[in-house]
Amino acid sequence: MTTTREKARLYAVAAHGDQRYGDHPYSFHLDAVAALAEPYGEEVVVVAYLHDVAEDTDVTLASIEAEFGSRVATCVCLLTDEPGANRKERKARTYAKLAQAKGEIEIALVVKAADRLANVRACIADRKASLWRLYQSEQQAFKNAAFRSGQCDPLWSELDRLLAEGAFDGQT
């Protein structure tokens, strides 16, 4: 019998198809985010697998809701970047949305922290200094929107450490 987590992974991998995450299949990123989400429960892992589906594929939130329920779909919606003319505008709108998250949908914020941590780990591993600097420049606004004390502090601690001044030893 397939678990909901396995169903979510299969669904997301199929939806992302041939998309790549750097030099890797997109499942590399999905598995990294899900592994970071693991300590926070099964539903968080499900959302982790699905977090980019609505943003990066043709799958609709209605389809996600039909397959995984309204709470998961609401969380995926919360994690989906808002439209904007450029990254700065998209992120400002998305962070404003994240800042409003309350109650049972706050689990999406764990996934958002796990996603950012996975991205920062990857840009360090792949020696992408310019991307690291971008994440570093966004960190305070991102944290102001998504951090909730006591929710997933180990993820935030590592993220803060990896984005600290001088943490990327190859930065220029």
The pTM of this model reads 0.95
**Confidence label for 54 from pLDDT (cuts 50, 70 and 90):** very high
Q: At the topology level of CATH, where does 4-162 sit? A: Hypothetical protein af1432 (1.10.3210)
Q: Is the pLDDT of residue 171 over 60?
A: no
Structural domain spans, the chain: 4-162
25: its two tokens: 């299949």
For residue range 74-96, what is the model confidence (pLDDT) as tens digits? 999 999 999 999 999 999 999 99
The DSSP bridge partners found for residue 20 are: 25
Q: Answer whether 32's CB lies under 8 Å from 52's CB.
A: no
DSSP code string of 51-108? TTHHHHSS--HHHHHHHH-HHHHHHHHHHSPPP-SSHHHHHHHHHHHHHT--GGGGHH
